[in-house]
Amino acid sequence: MTSDLQPETINNTSNFNTTEKMNVGTLLFKRLSKVTKSVFGVPGDFNLKLLENIYKVPELKWVGNNNELNAAYVADGYSRINPHNFACLITTYGVGELSALNGIAGSFTENIGVLHIVGTSASRIKKMTSGLEEKDALFKQIHHLIPGPKSYSKQNHEVYENIVAPFSCVAERLTPEDVINGTIQFKIDNAISTVIKENKPGYLFIPSDISEDIVPCNLSLSLEPKRNEKLSFAEKEVLSTILNKIYEAKNVGLVADYFLKNDRENVENLLEKSKWPVYSTPGSRGLCFDESIENFKGVFCNETSHPNVLESVKNHDLILHLGSNINETSFRYYDPVKSKWLQDANIVFLGKEYAMFGFAKEIIKEIDGVKIFRELFKQIQYKKISEAPLNKTIPKFSNSYDLTSVNKIEDKLFENQLSYELSTNYLQENDIVICEMTSFTFEMENIKLPKNARAIAQGFYASIGYALPACVGVCKALKDYSLESKHRVVLIQGDGSAQMTLQEFSLFLAHDLKPVIFMLNNSGYTIERAIMGETSSYNDLTTNWKWTKIFEAFGDELKEKHESRTINNYTELKEYMQQDIDQEKLQMVELILQKCDYSNGLKTFLGKP
C-alpha cells in the first residue's frame, strides 16, 4: 500500500528549504514529534546512536520498556488514545524486533497504527559482507543475526526484514543512497503517514551507521495523510445506493463499528438528527458514539447478542453496518441456522475499503468507506427519513442483567456480580475500561457504559498479556495529551494473562500512572477450562502469585504510589464499589473468584447451557 502523500512534493529536494539540514536521527525524531510525544522500546547496540538524537528533540520523550513484546503492546495502547492514531517503538536488530513481532501482529489484526523502527546492521557491514566470498564471510558473522542454513553460509542481513510483509502496511529501509539522493525524509514521512492512514503497523529499518549523516529536510510538510476528497465513480454509486435505501426504509438501524472511530462527532450528530436506533459491537464499545444516548439499543454481535438486542436488530427493514470490522469475535457468524436471518436482511456493510449490499453478497472494492460515510453525513436529507415507531418491547439498553440473573451468594464472588456492580455502581462518565482476553471479556457485552465511557480490548487477535501493557500506553497517552484528569482508566486483568507481561507493571510506578487494576484471581486459565481440561494441570498457573505485593517488589516498598487490597466476596465488593477511593494512587484490587466461574457472557459465547 502506498500513501497519498505526493512523492513529487517531498521526494524532490529542490522543493526543500535547503538551508535546513540536520542529521538523520534528529530528523526522524523531529518528524515523529509531530504525531506523538513518547517513543517506546528497548535500547541495543544497533540503535544506540539513533537514540542519542532523541535528546535533541525535547518535545519527544523516550519511555523505556522492560522487553520488546511489552513495548509493542504499550505502543498499541498509546496509539488508541493519541489523537493522531499513532505510536512508535524502537528495537534492536533481531533479538528486539522478533520479540516484538507478536505485538505487531496484534496491531495489524486490530487495525492500530504503530510504527516499529528497527536499528539494523551497519550499511557499511552489509556492503562489505555482500562483497565477500563465503570463506571470508565466515569470519565476519555478526551477533543478533541468525546464521544461514549451514554453519559456513553467509549471513543474510535482510532475513528479518523479509518476514514483515504480512504484518505491516509499509516497510521502508533507509540506505546510504537515500542520504546521497536526499530521499531520507520521503521514506520517513511515508512510513509515518502510511501507518496513520492505514491504521496498521509499519516498519522503518535504520542501519546503525546512518543516524549521524546530514540530510536536507523540510519540517513544515504535513504528515497527516491526505485523502482524495472527491468521490470516485464507484464511491458515488455506493453512496447513492445507501441514501436511496435509507429514504425507502421505514425503520433504519445503525451498527456503528470500529472504522467509524475517527468520526465520533459525525456519528453522534447523525444519530441526534435521524433518531435511528444504534448498536455498538464488541469491538467498538463506546468508540464511535456515546453509549448513554437514548438511541443506544445494545451491543450487536449477531448470534450471541442479547436476545432483546438481536430481536431489535432483526426488526429493522434496513441495517446500516458502517465502519464494518467483520471478524469471529466481533461479528460472530458461526452457525448458518442461527444466522439464517442475515440471508434475508436488508443489510449494508460499509467497511474500510469495501462495501457490500446484503449478507455475503458481492464485495465492492477499491472504495474508501470512511470517505463515503463522511459524504453521506454531509448529503443526507433528514426530512426524507421516516421516523421509526419506537419499538416499545425493546427497552433502552440499561443494566447488564436483571437483578434476578445475578448470583446472590454473598460470601463468594462471581464474575456476574462484578459486571453487575461495574454497570450499576462503579463505572463513571469518561471511564476507559481495558479488558484482558479472559473469561470476563465475554461479560463486557453485558456491561453498561456511562456517558462517553469506552472499552478497549484486543478482542480478535486475542493475545493474552496484551491488556496490562496496553493500559500503560493508554495512561501514558492520556498524560501526554493532558487528558489524564478527564478519564479514569480501569484495567480488568486476568491472573493468567498478567503472568505473561507482568514486568510492565513497573511502568505505572515509573511514570506515575494511576489506573484502577482489577486483578481477577481465579487460579488459572478459566477461559480454557471452560473449553477443555477443566481440571487439567496445564490450565493451572505456575505459582500462587501475591498480587497485592507485586508493586512492592517492583520498587514501591513504602506504598507511596500504590494501594492494594484483596476482595474475597460479594459483600466486600459492593462495599468497595461504593467507597470513595483516593485516586491519587494506583489501585491494585485483587478479586478472589472461583476456579470454574464461567460468566453468563462466556457461556453464551461458547454455547454452554
Which of these segments, 227-235, 247-255, 397-405, 535-543, binds a second copy (CB under 8 A)? 535-543
* Residue 439 site contact among a second copy, ligand TPP, none (CB < 5 to 8 Å, cut-off depends on kind): ligand TPP
Residues of span 99-118 touching ligand TPP by CB under 6 A:
99
Tell me the number of residues near a second copy by CB under 8 A: 106
Judged by beta carbon, residue 53 or residue 183, the one nearer a second copy is 53
Helix or strand (DSSP H, E) at 61? strand 61-64
What distance in Å separates the CA atoms of residue 396 and residue 383, rounded to the nearest whole number? Answer: 25
**Identity of residue 533:** G
Which of these segments, 20-28, 329-337, 578-586, 591-599, binds a second copy (CB under 8 A)? 329-337
Please count the other Cβ atoms lying within 10 Å of the Cβ belonging to residue 443.
25
Judged by beta carbon, residue 3 or residue 416, the one nearer ligand TPP is 416
User: Residues marked as binding for Mg(2+)?
Assistant: 495, 522, 524
507 part of the interface to a second copy, by CB under 8 A: yes
469 part of the interface to ligand TPP, by CB under 6 A: no
Which of these segments, 416-424, 481-489, 548-556, 590-598, binds a second copy (CB under 8 A)? 548-556
Q: How far is the CB of 220 from ligand TPP (least distance, A)?
A: 35
Q: For a second copy, which residue of 308, 315, 533, 568 counts as binding (CB under 8 A)?
A: 533
Judged by beta carbon, residue 146 or residue 180, the one nearer a second copy is 146
Going by C-alpha positions, the residue among 448, 419, 416 that lies closest to residue 431 is: 448
Q: For a second copy, which residue of 166, 307, 389, 609 counts as binding (CB under 8 A)?
A: 166
Which of these segments, 90-98, 193-201, 206-214, 338-346, binds ligand TPP (CB under 6 A)? 90-98
Q: For ligand TPP, which residue of 43, 147, 450, 533 counts as binding (CB under 6 A)?
A: 43
- Parallel, antiparallel, or unpaired for β 214-216 and 21-23? antiparallel
In 408-535, at which residue ranges do the beta strands (DSSP E only) sit? Answer: 432-435, 454-456, 489-494, 516-521
* Residue 64 site contact among a second copy, ligand TPP, none (CB < 5 to 8 Å, cut-off depends on kind): a second copy
What distance in Å separates the CA atoms of residue 295 and residue 299, rounded to the nearest whole number? Answer: 12
144 part of the interface to a second copy, by CB under 8 A: yes
Going by C-alpha positions, the residue among 70, 4, 62 that lies closest to residue 28 is: 62
Residues of span 32-61 touching a second copy by CB under 8 A:
43-45, 48-49, 51-52, 54-55
**CB under 8 Å to 602, separation ≥6 — which residues?**
439, 441, 442, 443, 527, 530, 608
354 part of the interface to a second copy, by CB under 8 A: yes
194 part of the interface to a second copy, by CB under 8 A: no
User: Residues marked as binding?
Assistant: 495, 522, 524
Q: How far is the CB of 498 from ligand TPP (least distance, A)?
A: 7
341 part of the interface to a second copy, by CB under 8 A: no
136 part of the interface to a second copy, by CB under 8 A: yes
* Residue 230 site contact among a second copy, ligand TPP, none (CB < 5 to 8 Å, cut-off depends on kind): none
Helix or strand (DSSP H, E) at 473? helix 467-480
What distance in Å separates the CA atoms of residue 461 and residue 168, rounded to the nearest whole number? Answer: 15
Q: How far is the CB of 580 from a second copy (least distance, A)?
A: 29
Going by C-alpha positions, the residue among 63, 60, 59 that lies closest to residue 40 is: 63
128 part of the interface to a second copy, by CB under 8 A: no
- Which cell numbers in the block locate residue 393? 418491547
Binding-site string for ligand TPP from residue 409 to residue 448, where x marks contact by CB under 6 A and - marks none: ---------------------------xxxxx--------
Q: How far is the CB of 441 from a second copy (least distance, A)?
A: 11
Q: How far is CA 200 from CA 79, 85, 103, 107, in A?
A: 11, 10, 12, 7
497 part of the interface to ligand TPP, by CB under 6 A: yes
Whether 185 contacts 215, CB under 8 Å: yes
Judged by beta carbon, residue 117 or residue 223, the one nearer ligand TPP is 117
Q: How far is the CB of 547 from ligand TPP (least distance, A)?
A: 12
- Parallel, antiparallel, or unpaired for β 21-23 and 347-351? unpaired
* Residue 545 site contact among ligand TPP, a second copy, none (CB < 5 to 8 Å, cut-off depends on kind): a second copy
Torsion of CA 236, 240, 241, 247, to 10 degrees: 160
42 part of the interface to ligand TPP, by CB under 6 A: yes
Judged by beta carbon, residue 65 or residue 416, the one nearer a second copy is 65
Residues of span 513-532 touching ligand TPP by CB under 6 A:
520, 522, 524-528
Residue 538: burial class (beta carbons within 10 Å; 0-12, 13-18, 19+): exposed
**CB under 8 Å to 381, separation ≥6 — which residues?**
247
* Residue 351 site contact among a second copy, ligand TPP, none (CB < 5 to 8 Å, cut-off depends on kind): a second copy
169 part of the interface to a second copy, by CB under 8 A: yes
Could you give phi then psi for residue 352, rounded to 5 degrees? -65, -45
92 part of the interface to ligand TPP, by CB under 6 A: yes
**Identity of residue 459:** G
In 169-313, at which residue ranges do the beta strands (DSSP E only) sit? Answer: 170-173, 202-207, 214-216, 252-256, 278-280, 296-299
- Which cell numbers in the block locate residue 47? 540503535
**CB under 8 Å to 103, separation ≥6 — which residues?**
68, 69, 70, 71, 72, 73, 75, 76, 463, 466
What distance in Å separates the CA atoms of residue 339 and residue 579, rounded to the nearest whole number? Answer: 44
Q: Give me the residues that bind ligand TPP (CB under 6 A), please.
A: 42-44, 92, 95-96, 99, 436-440, 462-465, 494-497, 520, 522, 524-528
